[in-house]
């Protein structure tokens, strides 16, 4: 166990070693931003560059278009029509209705479960990452450098093999087949911790903390009153990433949950997909496809909404020093 820690902590110090060459961010950012807004009007827009980037855009969107088109088809329509064009019968609304009512409306239950897992899991993960990142950025404490090193080291171990040990542990604690078995592991976001660490370092002027302490404010009060508002844009970003991670969580729930009543959407959809493979089972690929579409819509919506918030957050975050 000590070896990953040492290896990784060496890695950290290696990064520290090169700090002298790192570009610094000492320029007042507000000016930079204004300058850049002016600047961004200056370069001529390039058709060639737009077309080239457009290729990546097409690559990104074609599968999603396929998903949208396929969700308008019945199970028979899927079998008898080409993938990138509509079938004769436009069945999107039938599919949506059937998705929500099939098997006594279990899809709605999965949707609510997912919301629960995302709410508690991603919310909690963001909270822990914010606290942790803040501590790493603004405090010194024994073992500080080891923390991130151990985190990176542990993340390198394949999760599939840890699944059974985790299952046995959780089972001893009576957590399997409960929402906690999904939520607790979702609470850790190593990348979120890294992001918050970097962000807090930049966004919170140390002088501000010093001032608050001189005023006699407690650490918690300082954190909530002074630091948290400054961290808002970073928090939104971490929340976005942890939401996606929790929403898409598949492998761990697969092992931890046996009762379909606790399934998140990903597991539920997969069980519908697997249903075609059993004696007496009914293939419902049309519902799997429509369900997939419904599954990603809330995430895309959340992203677009947060994106707007994030835009203003970017500007807010740049007002510092």
> Could you tell me which residues come within 8 angstroms of residue 276 by beta carbon, excluding any fewer than 6 positions away?
282, 283, 284, 285
Cα four-point dihedral sign 63, 69, 73, 78: negative
Hey, what's the torsion of the CAs at 18, 21, 27, 31, to 10 degrees? -110
| Closer residue to another protein, CB minimum distance, 53 or 101 | 53
Residue with tokens 């976005």: 240
| Closer residue to another protein, CB minimum distance, 3 or 216 | 3
Residues numbered 271-290 forming contacts with another protein, rule: CB under 8 A: 271, 273-283, 285, 288
Least CB distance to another protein at residue 53 (A) = 5
Cα four-point dihedral sign 171, 174, 177, 178: negative
Residues numbered 193-252 forming contacts with another protein, rule: CB under 8 A: 193-195, 197-199, 201-203, 206, 209-210, 219, 223, 233-234, 237, 244, 247-248, 250-251
| Closer residue to another protein, CB minimum distance, 123 or 273 | 273
Site string for another protein, 20-59 (x = CB under 8 A): -xxxxxxx-x-xx--xx--xxxxxxxxx-xx-xxx-xx-x
CB-facing half-sphere around the CA of 188: CA atoms within 13 A: 8
Record the tokens describing residue 121, joined without a space. 């899991």
Q: Encode 121-179 in three state secondary structure.
A: HHHHHHHHHHHHHHHHHHCCCCCHHHHHHHHHHHHCCCHHHHHHHHHHHHHHCCCCCCH
Rounded to whole angstroms, how far apart are CA atoms 312 and 289?
35
Least CB distance to another protein at residue 290 (A) = 12
Least CB distance to another protein at residue 72 (A) = 15
Residues numbered 87-126 forming contacts with another protein, rule: CB under 8 A: none
Q: How many CB atoms lie within 10 A of CB 54?
A: 11
Residues numbered 119-158 forming contacts with another protein, rule: CB under 8 A: 128-129, 131-132, 134-147, 150-158
| Closer residue to another protein, CB minimum distance, 90 or 296 | 296
Q: Which stretch binds another protein (CB under 8 A): 76-84, 92-100, 115-123?
A: 76-84
Asked if 317 is part of the footprint of another protein (rule: CB under 8 A), the reply reads: yes
Instruction: Work out which of 116, 163, 217, 306 binds another protein, going by CB under 8 A.
Output: 163
Calculate Rg over the CA atoms of the chain.
24
Instruction: Work out which of 75, 86, 109, 306 binds another protein, going by CB under 8 A.
Output: 75
Rounded to whole angstroms, how far apart are CA atoms 86 and 306?
33
Least CB distance to another protein at residue 39 (A) = 7
| Closer residue to another protein, CB minimum distance, 111 or 188 | 188
Cα four-point dihedral sign 205, 207, 209, 212: negative
Instruction: Work out which of 99, 185, 226, 231 binds another protein, going by CB under 8 A.
Output: 185
Least CB distance to another protein at residue 177 (A) = 6
- How many residues bind to another protein according to rule CB under 8 A? 168
H/E segment holding residue 205: none
Least CB distance to another protein at residue 281 (A) = 6
Q: Which stretch binds another protein (CB under 8 A): 90-98, 115-123, 161-169?
A: 161-169
């Amino acid at each position: 166990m000590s070896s990953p820690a040492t290896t990784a902590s060496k890695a950290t110090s290696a990064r520290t070693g090169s700090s002298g060459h790192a570009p610094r961010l000492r320029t007042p950012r507000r000016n930079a931003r204004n300058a850049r807004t002016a600047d961004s009007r200056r370069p001529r827009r390039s058709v060639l560059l737009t077309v080239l980037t457009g290729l990546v855009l097409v690559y990104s969107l074609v599968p999603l278009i396929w998903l949208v088109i396929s969700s308008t088809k019945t199970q028979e329509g899927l079998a008898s029509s080409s993938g990138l064009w509509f079938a004769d019968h436009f069945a999107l609304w039938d599919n949506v209705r059937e998705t929500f009512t099939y098997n006594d409306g279990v899809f709605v239950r999965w949707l609510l479960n997912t919301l629960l897992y995302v709410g508690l899991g991603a919310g909690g993960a963001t909270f822990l990452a914010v606290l942790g990142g803040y501590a790493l950025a603004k405090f010194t404490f024994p073992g500080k450098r080891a923390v991130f090193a151990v985190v990176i080291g542990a993340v390198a171990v394949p999760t599939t093999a840890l699944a059974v040990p985790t299952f046995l542990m959780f089972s001893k604690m009576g957590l399997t087949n409960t929402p906690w078995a999904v939520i607790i592991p979702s609470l850790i976001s190593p990348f979120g911790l890294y992001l918050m660490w970097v962000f807090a370092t930049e966004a919170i002027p140390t002088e501000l903390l010093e001032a608050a302490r001189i005023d006699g404010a407690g650490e918690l009060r300082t954190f909530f009153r002074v630091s948290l508002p400054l961290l808002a844009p970073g928090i939104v970003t971490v929340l976005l990433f942890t939401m996606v991670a929790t929403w898409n969580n598949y492998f761990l729930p697969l092992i931890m949950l046996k009762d379909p009543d606790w399934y998140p959407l990903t597991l539920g959809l997969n069980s519908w997909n697997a249903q075609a493979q059993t004696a007496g089972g009914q293939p419902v690929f049309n519902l799997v496809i429509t369900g997939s579409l419904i599954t990603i819509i809330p995430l895309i919506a959340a992203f677009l909404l947060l994106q707007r918030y994030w835009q203003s957050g970017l500007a807010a975050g740049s007002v510092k020093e």
